[in-house]
Structures are given as C-alpha cells and as structure tokens.
Amino acid sequence: MTYPRIDLDGASVAITGGGAGIGRAVAKLFASKGAHVAIGDLNQAAAEEAAALVGGTAHHLDVADRDSFASFVAATEKAHGPLHVLVNNAGLMPNGGFLELADATDRLQIDVNLGGVLSGMKLVLPGMVERGFGHVVNVASLAGKFPVKGLAVYNATKFAVVGLTAATRLEFADAGVSLTAVLPSAVDTALASGLDLRPIPKVQPEDVARAVVDSVHNRRAEIAVPGYVGLLATAARVTPEPVLNRIRRLVRDDRALHSDRPERSEYRANLEAQQGTRR
C-alpha cells in the first residue's frame, strides 16, 4: 500500500504523555525535523517544560477523559493547523498479582492505555479521512504480544491496542490514512522503574522515538524496539507450552509480580495520586 507522503517540515504533530520519557523524546525528534509539536500531559508543568525545550505548545490532557482529549485536539489544530500525525503514547503500568491489584487500578489501566487510544483515534481520524492523508502511531508494547506474570491487565490493554491498530489500519488504508503500532521492550523510564524484567532488554526513550518518527516515512504496520524482540515474541507463540514454561522458570519470569525497590514504591504512589485527581 502506498500512502500520501507526509513532509515533517511544518507538519502538525500531537503527542500524548509528552511531558517525559518516550513522549518527550518523540517531541524532541519531531521538532528537530521541523514539525510543529503539541504536547499533552496530565502533568501540566512537565508538558510546559517539554514544550519550552522543543518550541512547541503545552496542554493539560487526561486521555481517560474524552472531553479533555477533544480540547487537546482542538487546541492543537488551532495552534498548528490540521493534524498530520497523532502519537498515542500516554500509558501506565502498575505491577502485581492479578487478584492483588485493586479494581480501580485495573480500570485506570483500561481507561488510559486502551480508552485513551480509542478516544484519540475517534477524534482525529474523521479529519484525516476527509483530507485524504494522516498517520496515527499507537505506542503499544512487547507486552502486547508476550504475556508477563504480574502485568496481566497491562498485557490485556496492550494486546487490545495491537489488535485495534491492525484492524483499523486495514479499514482506513484506502482513505490514505495509515496506522502503526510501535512495540518497545522494557523502556528506561518511570513506567518500568524498579522492575527487573530480564531477559527482556531495556531500551532508551530515544530508541523508541526513532521508531515512531521513522514510521511516518516507512508506514510499517508494526515496529518492535529493538527489532529482534518481535521475532522472539513470534517464536514464543509457536513454542510448545511445556518447553516455554521451562524456559520461563529458568529466567525467573515472575519478577514483575513483586518489587520492593524504592523506585517502584514511588511509581505506585504517583499512580495513586493520579487516581485521586481523576475522582
């Protein structure tokens, strides 16, 4: 499939969760290509700091709130013109046993990791289809292909995002609008702080940012970061379960179930604070 070319010099780009981590790295790289970048984040101060760094605009954004997302899209297009690219990056990853995590924590993951992606797509795709071009990047995860103990609901949301992206990519291809799922392994950000996910490799936000920006040109359906982890996830799916379970035990694949590291405690405390602001 050949899609209309998007020239990043002067393009209008919106990034959710752009105040830190992957989102900030994505914003910096898009800005370096000449794009006009709008950064949405639940943390207004972080959004403003990132926007000042890249010469973009900052917006308070709660992706779990459809009205908040609609306001973000409207403000972005008012400032920078109709959207060329939306990067659905905002997400969260609480860890723990499936029966141990509170229902409110499960719901928050679903509302942010999946609901936010759905809202963003439904808000921007009609305009992209009408204009006959556009690109949406959904930052999913290797966890959207490979289940991990202690991340059951996170796995569920990311599996859903991968499937959603694949299905809508087929639906909108003839309209000239492309969708890409980017699947990083563990990323060296607050999201995975305090978690020992070995042997899953840890990558830097800048590695993911390159994949996101490159997708505007190559329009690939899925991009794993690093590339070889996608092959490993595919191999795992065809490996007999008894063999795979032995490998999992050897590498101690239950380390995400519990973590008493200070960084993880801080991350959980921040999530609880977020839940309080959303009530």
The string of DSSP codes covering 54-88 is HT-EEEE--TT-HHHHHHHHHHHHHHH-S-SEEEE
Neighbours of 180 (CB within 10 A): 24
Residue 267 is among the residues annotated as catalytic for this protein: no
Nearest-5° Cα angle at 160, 159 to 162:
65
Show me where the domains of the chain are located: 12-277
Q: At what angle do helices 21-32 and 205-218 cross, to 10 degrees?
A: 50
Question: Pick the catalytic residue: 3, 154, 228, 267?
Answer: 154
Fold of 12-277: Rossmann fold (3.40.50)
Q: Are 128 and 54 in contact (CB under 8 A)?
A: no
Each residue's pLDDT, cut to its tens digit, for the chain (279 residues) gives 789 999 999 999 999 999 999 999 999 999 999 999 999 999 999 999 999 999 999 999 999 999 999 999 999 999 999 999 999 999 999 888 999 999 999 999 999 999 999 999 999 999 999 999 999 999 999 989 888 888 999 999 999 999 999 999 999 999 999 999 999 987 767 665 556 666 667 789 999 999 999 999 999 999 999 877 666 667 667 667 776 566 556 556 665 666 666 666 666 677 766 655 554
Q: pTM of this prediction? A: 0.88
Q: How many residues does the chain have?
A: 279
CA atoms of 156 and 181, how far apart (whole Å):
15
Cβ atoms 26, 209 nearer than 8 A: yes
8 A C-beta contact, residue 272 and residue 92: no
Determine the Cα–Cα distance for residues 163 and 171; give it in Å rounded to an integer.
Answer: 13
